[in-house]
Amino acid sequence: MSQAPSLPSYAVLKKTLNTFQPNTHAAQIHGLLCGYLCRTAVDKTDNTWESYFPDIKKSKKIYHLLQEIIEISYRQLNEFSFEFYLILPTEKTNINIRSEALGLWCQGFLTGLDAERISHLQGQPGEVSEAIKDILEISEISFGDIAENEEDESAYLELVEYVRLSVLMIFQELKTSDLLTPEESHNKQVH
C-alpha cells in the first residue's frame, strides 16, 4: 500500500514560489488555499483559486504544485485528518519569524474564506464564530519582540495547534451544515 502524498515543506514551497513571484510568503499562500477550500467545501468544481494568481498558467511547475497542495489539503480536511498541518517555518527558525508566518497564514486563510463568508459566520452562534474571531486576532499578531524562551515557544505551539484544529472544524462545519451566505441560500433554492 502506497503512502498518501504529503504537503511540501515551508522551505520547498517558499523556494518554488520565489521563482514565480518573488516576495510571496509561503505560509500566506497555504493559508489562502485552505481558506478557499473551506469556502468551497461543498463545490468541488470551483476553480476560483486560480484568480488569486493571474499568471499562474505561465508556470506549469507552480500551477501543479499549488494544485497538489489543494488536493492534499482537501483530502486531509475532508477526512478530518490529523496529518493536516499548516505550512510554516521549522522550529529552528527564530520565533519572531515563525510568529509572523503564523499571522500571515491566518491572513491568507481569511482572504481565501472571503469577507462575505467571514461576516456571515461571525453572526452565527457557536464554535465556528468563535474560531473565526480568534483567527482574526491571530492574523494581527505582533511579532518582533517575542523572546526565545520556553514560555513563548509553548504559547506559539498552542496557537499553531489551535489554528490547525479550528480550520479542520470550520471545514467540516461548512461542508455539513447550512452555514450558507444569503446569496448561496438563494442560489440553492433557485436550483
Q: What are 97-110's pLDDT values in tens digits?
A: 999 999 999 999 99
In a domain, 4, yes or no: no
**Is 3 within a domain?**
no
Asked if residue 190 belongs to a domain, the reply is: no
| CATH number of residue 45's parent domain | 1.20.120.740
Structural domain of 15: 10-182
Give the total residue count for the chain: 191
Residue 72 falls within a domain, yes or no? Answer: yes
Nearest partner of 167 among 141, 138, 188, 143, judged by Cα: 138
Rounded-to-integer distance, Cα 14 and Cα 82, Å: 23
127-159 pLDDT, tens digit each? 999 999 999 999 998 777 777 788 889 999 999
The sign one gets for the Cα dihedral 70, 174, 77, 111 is: positive
Other Cβ atoms closer than 10 A to 56: 17
pLDDT 10s digits, 48-72:
787 788 777 778 888 899 999 999 9
Q: What is the amino acid identity at position 104?
A: L
| pTM (predicted TM-score) | 0.87
Q: Is 117 in contact with 160 (CB distance < 8 Å)?
A: no
| pLDDT category of residue 189 using cuts at 50, 70 and 90 | very low
Report the number of distinct structural domains present in the chain: 1
The grid cell for 6 is 504529503
pLDDT-derived band at 3 (thresholds 50, 70, 90) equals low
Structural domain contains residue 191 = no
Residue 187 lies in a domain: no
